[in-house]
Structure 1
Amino acid sequence: MENKTAIVTGTSSGFGLSTSVELARKGFTVIAAMRNCNKSSMLLQEARKHGVESKIIVHELDVTYEESIQAFKSWIKEEFGRVDVLINNAGYAGAGFVEEVSMDEYRKQFETNVFGVFAVTKAFLPLMRMQKQGCIINISSISGKVAFPGLSPYVASKYAIEGWSESLRLEMQPFGVKVVLIEPGSYKTNIWSTGKQVAEESLLLHSPYKDYMQSIERYIAEGENSFGNPEDVAKKIAEIATLENPGIRYPIGRGVKAAIFLKNFLPWRLWEKTIISKLFVK
């Protein structure tokens, strides 16, 4: 992997940070893209700890701005001339009940989680196609397979990425470019912090959804001790990045495979009753 180049978006924390370090440990030259390079200290500190700081190059990229994407693409082409692995990780989780989530918040969620992935991928598809080689790894979620109440902005964005990735994989397979989905469950990252303010409307006294949202928050809080280590996801991503012929989907995390299986095979009425009984407690 010494001459292989990997791009990772959203690398200031969470999966992006851990994945950048893990890929560098595998020998990749990693371009760690983030919106604000002033937030790179945690990444570089972790890289130094593992002796791979020289393998990681931090570069500014805002996936919601075309000008930023085009400048980033031009720099990559000039400096490296190729991209072997692209990991679309940048994103956040918007929450709240549909009635109380503004259309602007939905658009903001999709600009980052969906259109940002589309735009960054499109920027590098010609290069990968001409190389006749490459791997695009999109960070989805169990929320892209199993919907939950109070999370519709995030859930909708991940469902979109799931379908889009299937189409892209079928399009790029004849050109030697692989497309992969990672579907993590609950992990100890800060993905919820950016979208947290969206859910606050549903926690106000006047909200008809207050009790429901409080129940959901309690349910999540009670399970926090079982949240996984992001480094486990990073190791899986790095493993996939080195495979010659990876599969399309990799669910990972406690209870993820079971939840997907039950959602697919239980009658909807039974599934619905099970979810609501767990999450809606007055």
Structure 2
Amino acid sequence: MTKKVLLVTGAGRGLGVDIAKAALAAGYAVVATGRNPENVEKAVGVAGDLLTVRLDITDPASVRAAVDAAVARFGRIDVLVNNAGNFYAGYFENISPEQFRAQMETNFFGPLNVTRAVLPVMRAQRGGQVITITSAAGLIGREFCAAYAASKFALEGWMESLRFDLEPYGISTMAVEPGFFRTELLVEGSSTIWPELEIEDYAGRTAATIEAWKGMNGQQGGDPAKLARALVTLSSSGELPPRFVAGADVMAGVEQNLDAIRGQVEAHRELSASLSYDEA
């Protein structure tokens, strides 16, 4: 196999489909994975350098089997794209403990499961790339996103630290923070799960916010096909940036957030600087 091999999770719908198609168009061999491989094949199509395989990111045995199938078919894995995820929306008190844990299992521990299975392959090769789709919500907390933001902030910290672990083995990492893209993330019953618990204080705000989120679906400004091509371009460049803030909306939001953090530092600079031991 002379082509680079890219494995992408969550390729049955949304951005994962676009990533698989963009990688194939750029000359990669692609392992497109999802919980239902028939849905993946239907969404991505059929190609000589395409392997569709079942992979449930919350099931380590399923992950291991998919990685083994990829290596058996292509002999290597050069690029891992951790894309699969979902969205447990709601105010913190309305999200049940079971929902919160399920959010972390999918959005945080899921990518860890897949990366843990792929890294021995990449270390043996002394090369590879780990690309993880986080979110603007991994850098900026916002209303109605307590569980989702927690899972994405966790991914950010993991990815920012993982790069130091892997650099000695020629493996690079990139966290990707998309803004609002026209994917299926906000499709009810598909990727979005509404809160289970009802609390009167939150009832009006919850109903209004759910309607607003529903109205946003299909109206997002970002084009996922363009994002997929951008990710393949960055991967092909050979020098991944540690972070790719994706979309004009999220760039503006991150810049505003950085200004706010700088202001918070300056507001209490003297108090913060006074906390060292007074040496005799």
Letter in 1 for 2:7: I
Ranges in structure 2 where 5+ consecutive residues have no aligned partner: 265-280
Residues 1:124 and 2:118 are matched in the alignment: yes
Residues 1:188 and 2:182 are matched in the alignment: yes
* Partners of 1:70 and 1:226 in 2: CA distance: 35
**Higher alpha-carbon deviation: 99-108 or 261-270:** 261-270
SS at match of 1:199: coil
Residues 1:138 and 2:143 are matched in the alignment: no
Corresponding residue for residue 64 of structure 1: 58
Retained in 2: the 8 A contact 1:20–1:32?
Answer: yes
Corresponding residue for residue 97 of structure 1: 91
Pick from 189, 194, 198 the counterpart of residue 198 of structure 1.
Answer: 194
* Partners of 1:113 and 1:142 in 2: CA distance: 14
* Partners of 1:266 and 1:224 in 2: CA distance: 31
How far does the alpha carbon of each residue in 1:11-57 deviate from its partner, in whole angstroms, 9 at most, with x for none?
0111100000000000001000000123235423xx46xxxx33322
Letter in 1 for 2:205: Y
**Correspondence list, 1:35-114, <5 A:** 35-40=35-40, 42-44=42-44, 47=45, 53-114=47-108
Retained in 2: the 8 A contact 1:139–1:181?
Answer: yes
How far does the alpha carbon of each residue in 1:114-153 deviate from its partner, in whole angstroms, 9 at most, with x for none?
1110011011111111211111100011000011111111
* Partners of 1:40 and 1:267 in 2: CA distance: 42
**Higher alpha-carbon deviation: 127-136 or 221-230:** 221-230
Q: Closer, same or farther in 2 for the Cα pair 1:164/1:55, shift >3 Å? A: same
Q: CA deviation at 1:76?
A: 2.3
Corresponding residue for residue 275 of structure 1: none
Q: CA deviation at 1:185?
A: 0.4
Q: Closer, same or farther in 2 for the Cα pair 1:197/1:128, shift >3 Å? A: closer
Q: Closer, same or farther in 2 for the Cα pair 1:225/1:181, shift >3 Å? A: same
* Partners of 2:237 and 2:123 in 1: CA distance: 18
Instruction: Kindly name which structure, 1 or 2, has the bigger radius of gyration based on alpha carbons.
Output: 2
Corresponding residue for residue 155 of structure 1: 149
Q: Closer, same or farther in 2 for the Cα pair 1:24/1:224, shift >3 Å? A: closer
Letter in 2 for 1:250: F
SS at match of 2:172: strand
* Partners of 1:32 and 1:196 in 2: CA distance: 22
Calculate the TM-score normalised by the size of structure 1. Answer: 0.85
Q: CA deviation at 1:254?
A: 3.1
Q: CA deviation at 1:208?
A: 1.7
Retained in 1: the 8 A contact 2:89–2:147?
Answer: yes
Residues 1:208 and 2:201 are matched in the alignment: yes
Q: Flag as ranges the 4+ runs of structure 1 deviating above 4 A.
A: 267-270
* Partners of 1:83 and 1:226 in 2: CA distance: 33
* Partners of 1:84 and 1:62 in 2: CA distance: 20
* Identity value in percent: 30
Q: Closer, same or farther in 2 for the Cα pair 1:115/1:197, shift >3 Å? A: closer
> How many residues were matched structurally?
261
Calculate the TM-score normalised by the size of structure 2. Answer: 0.86
Residues 1:170 and 2:125 are matched in the alignment: no
* Partners of 2:171 and 2:30 in 1: CA distance: 19
Q: CA deviation at 1:199?
A: 3.1
Corresponding residue for residue 274 of structure 1: none
Retained in 2: the 8 A contact 1:13–1:42?
Answer: no
Retained in 2: the 8 A contact 1:142–1:184?
Answer: yes
Letter in 2 for 1:8: V
Q: Closer, same or farther in 2 for the Cα pair 1:269/1:98, shift >3 Å? A: farther
